[in-house]
A and B are shown apart, each in its own frame.
Chain A
Amino acid sequence: DSGVTQTPKHLITATGQRVTLRCSPRSGDLSVYWYQQSLDQGLQFLIQYYNGEERAKGNILERFSAQQFPDLHSELNLSSLELGDSALYFCASSVDRGVGGELFFGEGSRLTVL
């Protein structure tokens, strides 16, 4: 158990819909990262937050947004969903602000868009 909690574990929805994925980092960790894992694309970095502020941005689509709340939990919002958005979405946390510390991954949220 990494200490990172992600909900929901599975989500099935239709194209055009909007979903929210939630992540609670390990106790004491200030950084939260979101990654998308598709079959052939490996782990794609989406975005990182540190202590409530956006710290780094990767290949995150404009239809996607994220935020980190004062209690440090984070939400990833995916809108106008397309079939290609079906993937496993991982949240990870680390104690530092992104200087290369170990990432602790949650178990992921599997999104299926029909």
Chain B
Amino acid sequence: GQQVMQIPQYQHVQEGEDFTTYCNSSTTLSNIQWYKQRPGGHPVFLIQLVKSGEVKKQKRLTFQFGEAKKNSSLHITATQTTDVGTYFCAGYKRSGGGADGLTFGKGTHLIIQP
């Protein structure tokens, strides 16, 4: 079945440092989504990337979708304490026989030291 690998599992940074998490799929994806889950909370949608090579920005967050549509990254510039949480990528693969559902990576836990 479809697998989505995400690294690193944990990332400790000093406040103000940059942060990047990477997502790799074993198969070509139709699209990829990113979610953020605050400690004790539920996943909240951040963005969806659809096109090969697509780059989208949301303030200090930059999302990229690889040319082969098998990998993606999320980069946060100058982290703030409000960025703490777990960042999940989720890949969607549309198959002929029906949807495979949205497969989530295991997430990257971002820990920020003030």
Seen from chain A, the residues whose Cβ lies within 8 Å of a Cβ on chain B are: 2, 33, 35, 40-45, 48, 55-58, 90, 92, 97-108
Contacts and interface: CB of A to CB of B under 8 A. Distances in A.
Contacts of A41: 106
Chain B interface, DSSP helix/strand/loop, else mixed: strand
Given A102-B33, A102-B48, A45 B42 contact: no
B99 A56 contact: yes
B30 A100 contact: yes
Of the four ranges (under 10, 10 to 19, 20 to 34, 35 or more), the interface on chain B belongs to: 20 to 34
Interface string B82-114: 000000101010100011111111110000000
B33 A55 contact: no
B42 A90 contact: yes
A97 B42 CA distance: 22
Nearest to B45: A102
B104 A35 contact: yes
B48 A48 contact: no
Given A43-B88, A100-B33, A100-B92, A33 B102 contact: yes
B15 to A, nearest CB: 26
Interface of B: 30-31, 33, 35, 41-45, 48, 50, 88, 90, 92, 94, 98-107
A98 B101 contact: yes
A42 B99 CA distance: 20
A100 to B, nearest CB: 4
A41 B101 CA distance: 17
Given A42-B106, A42-B107, A105-B44, A100 B101 contact: no
